[in-house]
Structure 1
Amino acid sequence: MQTEIHSVYERQADAPYDTLESLGGGSSGIVDRVKLRGSNEYYARKSIRIPPAGRTQRDQRITKIKEEARIIRRLRNNPHIVEVVSTYETRAGFNPTFCILLLPIADCDLGSMLEHVDQMVEGEEKRSVIRTMKHWAACLARATDYMHYNCVKHKDIKPSNILVRGDEIYITDFGIAKDFLPDTDSASTAWQAEGTRRYCPPEVLNQGRRGRASDVYSLGCCFLELATVTITCGKLALLKQVVGQTYAESEQRVLRWIYFLFSELAFRSFRRHTTSNNPDDDVVLQHAVLLPALAFTMMDSTASKRITARQLVTLISVWDKELYCNSCRVGAPGEDPTLGLHSKFKSRKDLDYPQNPMDALKPDFSPLPESWEDAKMKWLKDHMWWH
């Protein structure tokens, strides 16, 4: 493997990589699968063209791209964050290109995976996929905590920026990620809503201060979609229709959807205990039962009361350390008895759910929490902000 971290070539053809296939792309660049000539080494290459501009603007653009590579490299010790192998740039012509070589080469992104799983009917194939995804939420929480511990805000967590390879998952695309100084609240003023609006938290849409809590909110949206395709069949499009353009501007509808997922879990639990064994219920209740609750703690509309990534990791560890993969399980923090847990949920037996879970989505259905604070009073038995 190459040891040189950055190289400069006159033309793309001079770089020692053969392009094999396109892996996709977007506004931040295109991604190809490439092979290092004379070796069996394959990489994902993100290529960003530098648009025609004055020298100062071009240098600023290149500096920004190098910053993305630097940040990813600094996070290389986490198994669920993509790895930068090396970078290079080409300088010929009016449109020079900056390239970042990354590992692993993904099978797809989480957004595509969720859409695929959403279309599956219940059966062994879907049960197998749910087992494959069983560690993803906990490992993403651990990766986010690792980022924040190392003073990095991602600022654009969304399903398409999370890669899937086999049964592993990776956070990628740090194009607008930012360092922040240790021993600060990490917040900065967001005069424009950077990142994808659908997954932006309320404070960003309202041009407020953006800190680590913003990443947690965006990841919570991903957890809500993961919970939806795991617990239900064919409901992902309905979730997006119910929520509309942004999660942050649809607090009541998000609460309704979380309650719907709670109702689905309650229905599956009741069915498992009153009828013949249903393997689909068993798998969902074993591997997905915590997802809606995690999303609820992460999507609090008040940033200062939102669970932190470290509190989230602790909460998962206390609930079930087996939710982590083997790598993430090592060193996962337990509960600090002096601080307690961020949230403790009531038992499903202590809550009322409709016999038909779909009734929870009807506009006239009650009792539905009127606000996030009201939902806490109804669904939690203890909360750190109550002390």
Structure 2
Amino acid sequence: MELPLETGTQTTRDGPERQVFRNIQHEDYESPRDVPYRHIDVLGNGHYGFVDEVEAKSQQADGSTAVTYARKTILVQKARSAETTRRIRNEIDIMKRLDHEHVIRIAATYTVGNRFAILMQPVATMNLAEYMDRHPKPASDSPMRCWFGCLASSLAYLHSERIKHRDIKPANILIKGATIILTDFGIAHDVQDDLTSSTVGTVDSKTPMYCAPEVADEKRRGRAADIFSLGCVFLEMAT
């Protein structure tokens, strides 16, 4: 059975409407054969699992236009099940709260065996790291000229929702057409405090090339660490 979703549409500043998901549902399946989604292509691999593009099997049967999702599959190992479960719950709880045109959207979740899957939209063409590898010198008409403001807006939105991303880097920024999207909230943190520059949190992950000095020194980090990381991304985009 396909996961029941209450959906709507929302017009963005970029023009076309995007799908908005409400009442995110979770399903438990006994067998991989019961999962109502068909694999299309591998999008990436990570420490905890992989991401692939999928579509609903029911859409093939009724001939309707296929809606695709990016499916993040996390392998829950028994030895680290408590830690992995905490990260999964944290990521889902944060993503459910977010609604911004430049932030990835969660559509549904399910489990099958030792695999936990998160379905998201949109399905990106590539990430920013791959884009910059292909376009080492931005042209005057490059869409990157617009992305600075889009990324700044997405980070300001996260901070207004009292969320610190904590791992901003080109690999966690997706590109779909001319639209840029911030993703990967696996280690994001809900500060549950007033939004001030002194808001801090513990250090549990970092990407050396993009982390703030206090993070590199394994000190407590505030929202300024996110801003520093985004500044590093901006510098790389500009040069």
Q: Same fold (TM over 0.5)?
A: yes
Match of 1:111 in 2: 129
Match of 1:188 in 2: 201
Structure 1 segments of 4+ aligned residues over 6 angstroms from their partners: none
2:69 is aligned with 1:43: yes
Match of 1:20 in 2: 40
2:206 is aligned with 1:206: no
Aligned residues: 211
Match of 1:341 in 2: none
Match of 1:61 in 2: 84
Structure 1 residue 70, shift from structure 2 partner: 1.7
Q: Which amino acid aligns with 2:101?
A: P
Q: TM-score, normalised by structure 2?
A: 0.83
Between 175-184 and 135-144, report the one with greater CA deviation: 175-184
Gaps of 5+ in 2: 6-23, 60-65
Q: Give 1 or 2 for the bigger CA radius of gyration.
A: 1
Structure 1 residue 127, shift from structure 2 partner: 3.6
| Cα deviations by residue, 1:74-125 (Å, 9 ceiling, x for unpaired) | 11x210000000111112xxxx0010001000000000101111167xxxxx
Instruction: Specify the SS of the correspondent of 2:87.
Output: helix
Matches within 5 A, 1:16-165: 16-39=36-59, 40-53=66-79, 57-75=80-98, 77-91=99-113, 96-118=114-136, 126-128=139-141, 130=142, 132-165=143-176
Instruction: Specify the SS of the correspondent of 2:135.
Output: helix
Native 8 Å contact 1:187 1:210 kept in 2: yes
| The structure with more helix, counted as a fraction of residues | 1
Instruction: Specify the SS of the correspondent of 1:47.
Output: strand
Q: RMSD of the alignment, in Å? A: 1.7
Native 8 Å contact 2:127 2:171 kept in 1: yes
Q: Which amino acid aligns with 2:107?
A: V
Native 8 Å contact 2:122 2:176 kept in 1: yes
Native 8 Å contact 1:62 1:98 kept in 2: no
Native 8 Å contact 2:163 2:189 kept in 1: yes
With over 3 angstroms needed to count, the CA separation of the structure-2 counterparts of 1:63 and 1:208, relative to structure 1, is closer
Name the % identity: 38
Distance 2:135 2:28 in 1: 42
| Cα deviations by residue, 1:301-333 (Å, 9 ceiling, x for unpaired) | xxxxxxxxxxxxxxxxxxxxxxxxxxxxxxxxx
Structure 1 residue 60, shift from structure 2 partner: 4.1
Distance 2:213 2:220 in 1: 10
Distance 1:133 1:119 in 2: 11
Structure 1 residue 59, shift from structure 2 partner: 4.1
Gaps of 5+ in 1: 121-125, 229-387
Structure 1 residue 207, shift from structure 2 partner: 1.7
Alignment counterpart, residue 2 of structure 1, candidates 1, 4, 8: 4
| Larger relative contact order (CA 8 Å, sep ≥ 6) | 2
| The structure with more strand, counted as a fraction of residues | 2
Q: TM-score, normalised by structure 1?
A: 0.52
Distance 1:49 1:20 in 2: 19
Native 8 Å contact 2:48 2:75 kept in 1: no
Structure 1 residue 183, shift from structure 2 partner: 1.6
Native 8 Å contact 1:152 1:180 kept in 2: yes
Match of 1:226 in 2: 237
